[in-house]
Chain A
């Protein structure tokens, strides 16, 4: 690169340490993969890995898009509620019309509308995004109960399961959908002008505004996209299990945030990447898979998983403090 300004470069050890810290998640995920491949029978087997990919699909769909929200400085906990309610809306439409396409569309539009509402409240009423989405979560969970009349819902025809469970080139459509969403989110964030505006808004909203970025529009759009992705994830999940149940279970979003944060995207906004979330999700997935193959008690799995997230977040905080 022709770079007249390049004069100062960190030297020797500190540069390697910097690269090591910056791409930490890459090395740990690779190391875990190699470790499991070497020590655990059945890990490298095709069916096992395909299974891991399939199981991660819904989380990846929601997490790769929620990464944009996080980088723009927002925090969306309504992902859980949308992922619960959207498939109920979708199945209501499917039961009424018999159309899978309309059902899928309804679930996605529902998520998009909820997300746009979240984003508008955050951007225009200036309410903290965690609180906003916590509050709308309850509303959306409630809508789920209303739509389903408080009972488990099933599709009227078998073709609903084809959304997630069709096999194309050995992989399920759930996997393909998740990969497509990851790629789109990745390109949007890393390559487009909108992606730059997302980074700028999260990095310093006032500076971004003065440089001509429509920061409020950016916030509305990232929340809307996050809602859309959560809706899609919910429908894909329902298609895998061929049913949807109303609940007020918040656990899905915790998995999503864990993947984003373990990947190294900062909850403070302004820095991060979709590939990080991809690796974060697979790091956790490999870990869980390894535990299962070794038949480790799920209770211990949780404890270890929690500690791993703490280590990831403190590494991030530590490297940030060192740079400051």
Chain B
């Protein structure tokens, strides 16, 4: 296998894909404006920008999903005009989209060779297909069970299946749109190794990402986009995360986080009290389960938590550590085996979303599309849904009162990009997320729980979401945040609890908050030691 360090100069002059003055317009939005990008063969090309900067559109123009309004896409020196993903595909271009495109009930092998199966007399040649699969596995170094049904795989594994599929079709360019957004830290590392091995096989990768550290670490070249325009074609050695951010948003950020709200007075009554909570989802996922409980299992006693009014508590942990199950069962979104939840001293009794809401809790769930918003419904309906009782008279919803309520909360949450009756589907990811904040930012709110509050959100919106959270705490709300972005927890929280295997591993308070320490406990000491050696 060629050493990338040596191989690189040989390809340096060879442009694989070249965009010359490419523009693309959707309705009144100029998604891409006269973009010039050179993607070198056999390189990892990072593409960064805020949501709505035009990154995905660039990827889609190259992949033939969209056709450019003007300008040309040059592939290997020849101008090409792909009218469908199929045409781009036959030119060796494959996309791995954010939403993976696999057949869930078929096996890994079936998915990898879907449409390019080995056949004999029109029948699928199982033996030859399996031999090709083995060869593919060996070449790529991806370990995966070929017989496993895709439905049972994790997101990371499904991604590997997509990568295998792309290599099975001898793709020369793989476009990855936000591949790491839904991965845990260790899965991200594995993905990065895989992307580098693709480069070693002289496959070009266009890597679209929000994570600047990742791009700086991985990419050979970087293109920064803003408002549809290419603002910078650069390389990682001459950039820092700060310089990229500056290019992306066109202004210098003075610190990514608002100043922390003052530490809450520890003598007051807690806004949220959790005692002995055992989320049902956690024990169920244990392989041994109830039959053989671990020798000393603090989780069998359940989890305890107190959050003071005005306090921001973060929950860190790897995907699968139980952090989402924990906060969801506080809210009653998932059931708990045992446990007690009190809001301002009052016991909620049986845990259920309606009771949680009535007591002054609000949950912003992990996935806004699947669990948060009715995408086809209006901003108005999405925001007012839990508060309709207050604007209903004789069973009828009073539209004027509802409009006032929604206009006020959406303005407070800085939702932009649409009127009250715009379907939320038409808003950007950041504004959709702010809709969820608007939904809960009403005077009756005491406890706000936000699971991954800034997932898939551009940097500008991130900052306004941080401002919202911080302002909420200043107003005396108790805030509980789950996040994979440690930087976010450290920047925002008074206190961070680290979860591991369904238990609280440790807890850090404000001046002692440190990303490396949190990570160490999230992985567990022994795993951290192994990583270090």
Contacts and interface: CB of A to CB of B under 8 A. Distances in A.
Nearest to B396: A191
A167 interface: no
A204 B373 contact: yes
Q: Size class of B's contact patch?
A: 35 or more
Q: Size class of A's contact patch?
A: 35 or more
What are the nearest 6 A-B pairs in CB distance? A203-B374, A6-B419, A212-B357, A211-B385, A4-B411, A204-B374
Nearest to B355: A212
A145 B423 CA distance: 48
Given A8-B418, A11-B28, A207 B374 contact: yes
A193 B397 contact: yes
Given A5-B415, A14-B27, A196-B388, A207 B373 contact: yes
Contacts of A5: 379, 407, 410-411, 415-420
Interface string B357-380: 110000101000011111111010
A199 interface: yes
B460 interface: no
B353 interface: yes
B392 interface: yes
A231 B358 CA distance: 38
Contacts of B389: 193
Given A5-B416, A191-B397, A207-B372, A199 B388 contact: no
Interface of A: 1-11, 14, 187, 191-196, 199-200, 203-204, 206-214, 270-271, 323-324
A2 B517 CA distance: 49
Contacts of B28: 8, 10-11, 14
A3 B368 CA distance: 24
Contacts of B403: 1-2
A116 B45 CA distance: 58
B354 interface: yes
Given A5-B411, A8-B418, A210-B353, A196 B397 contact: yes
Given A5-B411, A7-B417, A210-B363, 14 more contacts: A4-B410, A4-B411, A9-B419, A11-B28, A191-B397, A193-B395, A196-B381, A203-B375, A206-B370, A209-B333, A210-B365, A212-B354, A212-B385, A323-B425
A11 B407 contact: no
Contacts of A11: 27-28
Contacts of A210: 331, 333, 353, 363, 365, 371-372
28 contacts: A5-B411, A5-B415, A5-B417, A5-B420, A7-B418, A8-B422, A11-B28, A14-B28, A192-B395, A193-B392, A194-B395, A195-B397, A196-B397, A203-B375, A204-B373, A204-B374, A207-B371, A207-B373, A208-B374, A209-B333, A210-B365, A210-B372, A211-B357, A211-B385, A211-B439, A212-B358, A270-B374, A271-B377
B386 interface: yes
Interface of B: 27-28, 331, 333, 353-354, 357-358, 363, 365, 370-377, 379, 381, 384-386, 388-389, 392, 395-397, 403, 407, 410-411, 415-420, 422, 425-426, 439
Contacts of A193: 388-389, 392, 395, 397
Contacts of A206: 370-371
A271 B376 contact: yes
A192 B397 contact: yes
B255 to A, nearest CB: 27
Nearest to B420: A3
A204 B365 CA distance: 13
Contact of B385 (A6, A194, A200, A324): A200
Contact of B374 (A2, A194, A200): A200
Contacts of A208: 374, 385
Contacts of B422: 8
A270 B378 CA distance: 11
A270 B376 contact: yes
Contacts of B417: 5, 7-8
Contacts of A10: 27-28
Given A192-B395, A200-B377, A212-B353, A6 B363 contact: no
Contacts of B395: 192-194
Contacts of B354: 212, 214
Nearest to B26: A14
Nearest to B391: A193
A4 B372 contact: no
Nearest to B356: A212
A213 B374 CA distance: 13
A203 to B, nearest CB: 3
B420 A203 contact: no
B381 A199 contact: yes
A209 B418 contact: no
A192 B398 CA distance: 9
Nearest to B438: A5
Contacts of B372: 207, 210
B419 to A, nearest CB: 4
Contacts of A200: 374, 377, 381, 385
A197 to B, nearest CB: 8
